[in-house]
Structure 1
Amino acid sequence: MFGTALCPDNSWQAYSWCYTFFPGGEKFYTAGIAAMCWAIWSYRNRVTFGFKPLTNPFECIFSACALICYWAGMMKQEDAVAMRDGAKMLKENASMMMRICASNHEEASR
């Protein structure tokens, strides 16, 4: 996932991963990690307690982007712009990955 076999499985590794793959954005790491955790937790609750299946794993990423943009409103103006730009970049990359996965799935089903 994400082009690496080094996906984090605890909070320390998540910060280390962010530092390695997103240098220079240290003040945004906590918000980004929190948004991903919150999005995963929300979808887990939706599937477990609401009996609504997750139709696409990218839903969690798009939900995290929405949370990041919402939380950016509580930051200084220049930080909010940078945080929204990061969310936009994440959303664009997730959309690209979603298209790649869809085309690979279509090719495999032929």
Structure 2
Amino acid sequence: MANENPFMVYSVGKTKILLDGDRVQAFGPDKAFDEVDGGIILHLIYASPVLKHFNPKKFKAIICDENATVVTKMKIEKFKMLPFSIGKGVPTVDVMLYGEPHTTFTD
């Protein structure tokens, strides 16, 4: 994508992702998703069971650390599977979720 300028990068170990209320696991080795212009890019491992029947309507990410809790929510307007790639020796599939993410920070 031409405008892949992430506003924020979320680490896999500290982030809980919900699609349509169900927890998603099996993210790429480095990060779960990036916020970009126009939506969010999810980084899923190719073998993730989520990819078998991927059709989300809502997205919610929660990251908690010692300083704050960050919650990103989005109603998904549409999605697009991006080309298959290899990340740190692991096959991954990126999924572009189109919509307006809203991120809130709490202590």
Q: For this structure pair, what is the TM-score category when the shorter chain's length is used for normalisation?
A: under 0.3
Q: Which has the higher contact order (CA 8 A, sep 6+)?
A: 2
With structure 2 as the length reference, what TM-score do the two structures score? 0.27
Q: Where is the strand percentage greater, Structure 1 or Structure 2? A: 2
Q: Where is the helix percentage greater, Structure 1 or Structure 2? A: 1
With structure 1 as the length reference, what TM-score do the two structures score? 0.26
Structure label with greater radius of gyration: 1
